[in-house]
């Protein structure tokens, strides 16, 4: 997965940087929220039940922030296969979510932030390297 962002218009929400559509952002937020509710960890069966609930259509209920709290309900339906392909798998490969093969559990991870620091360090090193001596000629 490639993460592209505009440094001058950086969203406040990490999910808006990582995911392309509003629906993907919402589903990813719902997943992390569900994992947090369960102590930061979900079993394989719980993950499947979550994906099935999304596939069947779920109603998201929450509080809108502001001076007067307003209860909001959002109906969302997300294909189970697409959930695994477009949400969970990218989150695993980027290090947002870890999968423990032995315990068969998914866990919220800090590897993403460590990898982003590593990327920043790689850029700092590249920036200070001397030029490679390539030249461009036109015909």
Residues of the chain whose pLDDT is less than 50? 66
Look at residue 65 in the predicted model and tell me its pLDDT: 56
Look at residue 17 in the predicted model and tell me its pLDDT: 93
Look at residue 86 in the predicted model and tell me its pLDDT: 96
Look at residue 62 in the predicted model and tell me its pLDDT: 67
DSSP, residue by residue, 17-63: HH-SSHHHHHHHHHHHHHHHHTTTEEEHHHHHHHHHHHHH-EEEEEE
pTM here is: 0.82
Cα–Cα dist 28/22, whole Å: 10
């Amino acid at each position: 997965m490639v993460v592209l962002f505009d440094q001058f218009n950086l969203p406040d929400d990490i999910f808006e940087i990582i995911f392309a559509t509003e629906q993907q952002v919402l589903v990813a937020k719902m997943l992390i929220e569900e994992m947090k509710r369960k102590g930061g960890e979900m079993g394989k069966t719980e993950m499947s039940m979550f994906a099935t609930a999304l596939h069947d259509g779920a109603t998201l209920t929450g509080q809108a922030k502001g001076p007067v709290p307003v209860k909001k309900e959002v109906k969302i339906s997300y294909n189970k296969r697409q959930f695994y392909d477009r949400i969970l798998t990218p989150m695993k490969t980027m290090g947002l979510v870890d999968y423990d093969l032995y315990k068969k559990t998914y866990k919220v991870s800090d590897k993403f932030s460590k990898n982003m620091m590593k990327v920043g360090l790689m850029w700092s090193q590249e920036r200070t390297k001397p030029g490679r001596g390539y030249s461009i000629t036109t015909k």
